[in-house]
Structure 1
Amino acid sequence: MNRPNILYIMSDDHSSNAISCYHSILEKVFQTPNIDRIAVEGCRMDAYCATNAVCTPARASIMTGQYGHINGVKTLDDDWNPQKGPDLAKLLQNSGYQTALFGKWHLGCVPEGFDTFQYLSKGNGKEGEQGDYYDPCFQDKNGTIRQYDGYVTDIITDMTKKWLENRDKERPFFVMCHHKAPHDFWEYHKRHEDLFQGVDIPVPDSLFEDRKHRSLATRDFGSSVTPRSRIRSLYCDFCRDDYVTGKLEGTEGMNFEEKGIAAYQKYLKDYLRTVAAIDESVGQLINTLEEDGSLENTIVIYTSDQGIFLGEHDYQDKRWSFEESLRTPFLIRYPKEIQAGSVCKALMANIDVAPTLLDYAGIEIPEEMQGVSGRKVIAGEEKEIRDAVYFRYWMHLAHNHDNPAHYGIRTKRYKLTFYYGLPLDATGAVQKETPPGWELYDLERDPQELHNVYEDIEYQEVCKRLKVKLENMKKFYRDTDEEYPVLLERYKRSK
């Protein structure tokens, strides 16, 4: 059996809107030709979702095919234990694959199942796992920490290229190339500093969203939760004298909205400059495989751990379950069975990644995995693998974040979210009260999610149907909240 190689390239916080083949408003001023090549010669997935739009839980779900309440990684403070439950890398390694990892790991543990690895670190423990843009430190399989000179994207690329060039050509490989970029704060390479000179970045329609349509749970409200500024916290960061890419100048005398637009312009230009280096990296890796003749037998994937807001809804960062954060780019090339230029609109979740890759590799999918293989929908042989994606944001358990805790489902047309807004400590006790609320969006009529229709008479039957679906999915995935009686009571009262 000639099993396919797998090159899995994942960036951190890369929005679909910042990849030109997804055709957002940014396509007019920014192109990603090398990333786009994967879509041109393969498939672009339009409804691939993170099940928890924050880095560490998303990465754990990719490796395990499980939700965070099963694999133990619900928040940024949780460490994954790869000895408990399924591990994608181990399964591939045990079946004869050469395995390697280079770049950001961010799972609070030493990777297992990889023949070799170098992951971003500043020392022992989880604190250093973000890494630095310049002269970053990496930890290897021997526990040795070494600092490398140069720019982090280029270093990770060079590590991956070197491994590809020196691998055993007689055995299939699985390599994860995990970029730090475009995670904040966006320190671009100097070769890209003139990118966007004299260019105005298009502004999203929702940059100054009027949130009156929303539930109380997600509006700017009261003193119990710090109100969000419409110009975002980034404005204050950008105005610091020591900001990493230089202070935002010339905003004196600007009004509120003008400052917001100035901050947006700096944010997007810095962000996209870091993406430019990633696009170059993708081109180099594809060329390496093309030159040694192995590209046609290699599954090439480009994705992110989740999406991120680029000013939409007047947000930066992720952590919400609006489309820009929840929906995640996923491009895949494998000409032996994936049609060039195809677009897959089937719902797929990050818990489906491990089962899908195991399917390609001819390895039995463990029963403990909650995801399913998307191989047939990617190939166009089936229309759907699921009719909804269940998602949940758990960060209230670990941090005193303003983002309200929530869960919900996304179908092809609708998204229903319950914001239960109960920051809980480790014992399940309430830390402080925040308003609960329901939101429903008709993604067909309102793809930008600017009209919460939960209270609309027209959608009451839809609400009832989706609530039944939500409850059934919570039971199916064994996430019934029995350990949080206060939460369950709030859910019952909210109905």
Structure 2
Amino acid sequence: MNAILRFLTVCMFCMGLAQGQQKKPNILFIFSDDHAYQAIGAYGNKLVQTPHIDRIAKEGAVFEQFMVTKSICGPSRANLLTGKYSHKNGFMDNEGNFNINQQVLSRLLQQADYETAWIGKWHLGTLPGDAFNYWHILPNQGYYYNPDFINAQHDTSRYEGYVTDIITQLSTAWLDERPKDKPFFLVIGEKATHREWLPAIEDLGAYDAVNFPLPATFYDDYQGRKAAGDQDMTIEKSMRLADDLKVHAKFGLTEAIMQERLTTIRNRGGQQRTLSVEEEQQLRKEINEGMYARLNPEQAASVQRYYDKITAEFEALKPEAKALTEWKYQRYMKDYLATANSLDRNIGKILDYLDKHGLAENTIVIYGSDQGFYLGEHGWFDKRFIYQESLRTPFLIRYPGVVKPGTRIGQQLLNIDWAPTLLEIAGLSVPSDIQGQSFLSLLHKPQQTKPFRKASYYHYYEFPHPHHVSPHFGITTERFKLVRFYKGQEAWELYDLKKDPLELHNQIANKKYAKQIIQLKQWLAEACEQYDDQLAAGILKQQL
């Protein structure tokens, strides 16, 4: 009898373990590139078409103050993988090579028996190696049409079609073939909505009937903010008619197009020069690999017809001065948002896959971008600055059984918080060297008022290229933002976000804020110490 009881006890224990493993949630993280929160319906935009991203919001939570530690693409991916600031994980800018041999989220999840995969845009210089059980990634930035992918065997293959569609196909194929007895952690790295904003054929002209209102700060004069005035990312001066807005662009590649482009290069700068054989061969290779050259004849014909109409419109209008700047803004918005249409449509396909295969109830679905982006605010495109439009990033999560549908969370959180939160969800302890904080408790109790941190710390390094944004560090609190620019332009800035949410008035010299400045500088010094940012601490020591 005792033997039978022992046997039944063991069986029940094993069944309990199996059920516990089954209940461990799958984690699907859809990670886009340069997708601004203000371009999403769930964040209040009434002109855009994002029904599937909005579905995640309706069935889960929208984070209204999710911020990045640095508004730049590759380092944000490194933040996700490590839960650490750039000066700790070693990936400071987009030109570096991420040390994949360090402690990363995916390897830690493997210890909890998760099957891990990264598919799509990676953009970290080095390859994922054994950090993921499976990977299939775009080299570097990747291409919108007919992109190449590198697999775990280091084979490079070209896929015919549009990049967002292909990433979805590869992702669902992996979900079909993965080990079904394990929970999964899958990162779907989207290329959209990265520059040069080339929409899928079916989305060309999707927003042509819309006249987008100019942002309130579109004609910002940068008064009192030298760093904001000393950059190279304005729609007026930095956005390129041909490469960005496709005016007179040629798609596909014929010998005539090749010769036209070579002639342009020979005459660059107004002085004709002769190319050596080696130079011409290299240029031919670069042109052949260009974004617009990769389209096959059928794709090229469709895309060319559309942008020929845009070119004809431009030539008929011949806009100048403000009219030209505003025309460029309208074209930027139409292409940017049309590119996002495919992103949203494919998110819908992924959600449908989860429903069809009975995975939705036990899969956490996260949608986020690597940082915010400027859609004409301050006259800009791109990101980099600590100002709100690039500091804030969209973040939405559907967590069945935990997050109540329609939840909105206003707490300040950072992208270094992703890793510890996912580790805690997986039932793992968070390593002590991870700098982020788990916000799992906030998912369970979104109305809790105790702040996660009194100030969010930020540090941007890249200079002078590609957009000549002065390196800076600073903190953002619920009410204030304090910034120290230290290269290129050297200056302090202070913003009262309650009175000046558009960040137009630098109050650093305003005596009314003297007490707040003393307090904020102390908090900034504490943040430098907390995160062991010795460069910033050294600069502060000279100032305080």
Say whether residues 1:104 and 2:121 are aligned partners: yes
Aligned counterpart for 1:375 among listed residues 440, 443, 446:
440
Asked if 1 retains the 8 angstrom alpha-carbon contact of 2:235 and 2:328, the reply is no
Q: Which residue of 1 aligns with 2:104?
A: 87
Asked if 1 retains the 8 angstrom alpha-carbon contact of 2:232 and 2:469, the reply is no
Matched to 2:195, the amino acid is: D
Q: Which residue of 1 aligns with 2:295?
A: none
Say whether residues 1:438 and 2:438 are aligned partners: no
For 1:446 and 1:41, locate their aligned partners in 2 and report how far apart those are by CA, in whole Å.
33
SS at match of 2:228: coil
Say whether residues 1:139 and 2:206 are aligned partners: no
Asked if 2 retains the 8 angstrom alpha-carbon contact of 1:11 and 1:179, the reply is yes
Q: CA deviation at 1:444?
A: 2.1
The percent identity for this pair of structures is 38
Say whether residues 1:218 and 2:228 are aligned partners: yes
SS at match of 1:440: strand
Q: CA deviation at 1:399?
A: 4.1
CA displacement, residues 66-122 of structure 1 (integer Å, 9 cap, x when unaligned) = 0010110111122111212x201111112201111110001111113211110002x
Q: CA deviation at 1:411?
A: 1.1
CA displacement, residues 241-263 of structure 1 (integer Å, 9 cap, x when unaligned) = 22757365426553421111100
Aligned counterpart for 2:400 among listed residues 317, 331, 335:
335
Matched to 1:477, the amino acid is: Y
SS at match of 1:468: helix
Q: Which residue of 1 aligns with 2:324?
A: 259
Q: Which residue of 2 aligns with 1:415?
A: 481
For 1:35 and 1:230, locate their aligned partners in 2 and report how far apart those are by CA, in whole Å.
27
State which drifts further: 74-83 or 34-43: 74-83
Q: Which residue of 2 aligns with 1:50?
A: 68
Q: CA deviation at 1:198?
A: 2.3
For 1:70 and 1:392, locate their aligned partners in 2 and report how far apart those are by CA, in whole Å.
12
State which drifts further: 227-236 or 65-74: 227-236
Say whether residues 1:66 and 2:133 are aligned partners: no
Asked if 2 retains the 8 angstrom alpha-carbon contact of 1:11 and 1:180, the reply is yes
Q: Which residue of 2 aligns with 1:311?
A: 376
Q: CA deviation at 1:210?
A: 2.2
- Cα distance change of structure 1 residues 337 and 177 upon mapping to structure 2, 3 Å threshold: same
Q: CA deviation at 1:316?
A: 0.6
Matched to 1:414, the amino acid is: F
For 1:69 and 1:173, locate their aligned partners in 2 and report how far apart those are by CA, in whole Å.
30
Q: Which residue of 2 aligns with 1:231?
A: 236
Q: Which residue of 2 aligns with 1:428?
A: none
Asked if 2 retains the 8 angstrom alpha-carbon contact of 1:103 and 1:178, the reply is yes
Q: CA deviation at 1:400?
A: 6.8
Asked if 1 retains the 8 angstrom alpha-carbon contact of 2:233 and 2:381, the reply is no
Aligned counterpart for 2:138 among listed residues 111, 120, 129:
120
Q: CA deviation at 1:169?
A: 2.9
CA displacement, residues 207-248 of structure 1 (integer Å, 9 cap, x when unaligned) = 11121142x23324xxxxx77656141154437522757365
For 1:31 and 1:463, locate their aligned partners in 2 and report how far apart those are by CA, in whole Å.
42
CA displacement, residues 318-343 of structure 1 (integer Å, 9 cap, x when unaligned) = 11111111100000010211111111
Matched to 2:196, the amino acid is: F
Q: CA deviation at 1:55?
A: 0.8
Aligned counterpart for 1:11 among listed residues 14, 32, 54:
32
For 2:83 and 2:234, locate their aligned partners in 1 and report how far apart those are by CA, in whole Å.
37
Q: Which residue of 2 aligns with 1:242?
A: 249
Q: Tell me the number of residue pairs that the alignment of Structure 1 and Structure 2 aligns.
A: 460
Asked if 2 retains the 8 angstrom alpha-carbon contact of 1:232 and 1:316, the reply is no
Q: Which residue of 2 aligns with 1:124?
A: none
Root mean square deviation, CA, Å: 2.0
- Cα distance change of structure 1 residues 193 and 240 upon mapping to structure 2, 3 Å threshold: closer
SS at match of 2:143: coil
Q: Which residue of 2 aligns with 1:395?
A: 462
SS at match of 1:464: helix
Matched to 1:242, the amino acid is: A
- Cα distance change of structure 1 residues 420 and 359 upon mapping to structure 2, 3 Å threshold: same
Say whether residues 1:149 and 2:149 are aligned partners: no
Runs of 5+ consecutive residues of structure 2 not aligned to the other structure: 1-19, 251-291, 293-302
Q: CA deviation at 1:416?
A: 1.0
Aligned counterpart for 1:452 among listed residues 473, 494, 506:
506
Asked if 1 retains the 8 angstrom alpha-carbon contact of 2:211 and 2:330, the reply is yes
User: What is the TM-score normalised by the length of structure 1?
Assistant: 0.89
Matched to 2:228, the amino acid is: T
Runs of 5+ consecutive residues of structure 1 not aligned to the other structure: 122-128, 221-225, 422-433
For 2:49 and 2:441, locate their aligned partners in 1 and report how far apart those are by CA, in whole Å.
30
Matched to 1:217, the amino acid is: A
Q: Displaced runs of 4+ in structure 1, greater than 6 A? A: none
Q: Which residue of 1 aligns with 2:412?
A: 347
